[in-house]
Structure 1
């Protein structure tokens, strides 16, 4: 769970959770979003000071046993840039598939047509306020594309505003609208 929240806070793909961890995350609902937001403004900024001021990476490990250690996260000068992402006022349309969706928060990941990487997305408002019909379109897209070849994917046309880094790289999209077929 710690790795999940850190990766979400850094707009990285957190990977697949175990069923148990997913259940915990689902039970948190919007509190999970609050944890991610809080990590971005406090703990991760402090942790990244070591990477930026002293040029040393910070690594967090989990040790299930004396001989085994699993790296949960690494903080370096590159990941520090993510914390300076800003929401752009521009809005444009993209064609994308939904590759992950948290049905309690509305956050997830999408893949833009003809691109290989997934990007974080969310809605610009409280997810409880989003119309059920809209939620169903996003979850239906995830369901439809799950397990089929990329050539057969069905894409959504979505109006988005990007969270951008200073170098112009987009780390998250905020969904502003979507178009039904």
Structure 2
């Protein structure tokens, strides 16, 4: 539908992207005030063409879902914040990193577990991804509505005895 708008479509797309989380803001209007938000296009003949309608029923598309099934993955740590416990990991064989965090408050976790992640980051710094040392992790996936995995919640890590 946007391709029919020509240059106007590019301008609309640019404006929506420039807004800091514009879709989230539009959904907040629906959620807080109960009003739908409609983005429409006025054709040269004066007719309006509705491009998108956002209402309370579309809010569920904005909320990521945490999978109930625990999965085992192999990944190397590429970034890690020692204050929050959040970071990024690279799945074995992948090229794109994914966010991760923990199911517990990081400050309450055992020091030994924290060291596993910081030491893995240290081992993986400055080497190619093919040379990464991977951890064996038990995780829950956090997925967007389109199925894309946007984060892993780490539930356990296998530590060599």
TM over 0.5: yes
Say whether 1:137 aligns with 2:122.
no
In structure 2, the residue matched to 1:125 is 104
In structure 1, the residue matched to 2:140 is 161
> Aligned residues, how many?
118
In structure 2, the residue matched to 1:45 is 24
Structure 1: state its 5+ residue gaps.
1-38, 57-76
The root-mean-square deviation of aligned C-alpha atoms, in Å, is 3.0
CA distance 1:98–1:47, shift in 2 (3 Å): farther
In structure 2, the residue matched to 1:22 is none
Contact 1:82-1:171 at 8 Å conserved across structures: no
CA distance 1:134–1:44, shift in 2 (3 Å): farther
CA distance 1:53–1:175, shift in 2 (3 Å): farther
- TM-score, normalised relative to structure 1: 0.57
Question: Structure 2 residue aligned with 1:89, among 60, 63, 68?
Answer: 68
- TM-score, normalised relative to structure 2: 0.64
Structure 2: state its 5+ residue gaps.
1-19, 30-36, 42-53
Structure-2 separation of matches of 1:55 and 1:175: 43
CA distance 1:147–1:125, shift in 2 (3 Å): same
Contact 2:62-2:145 at 8 Å conserved across structures: no
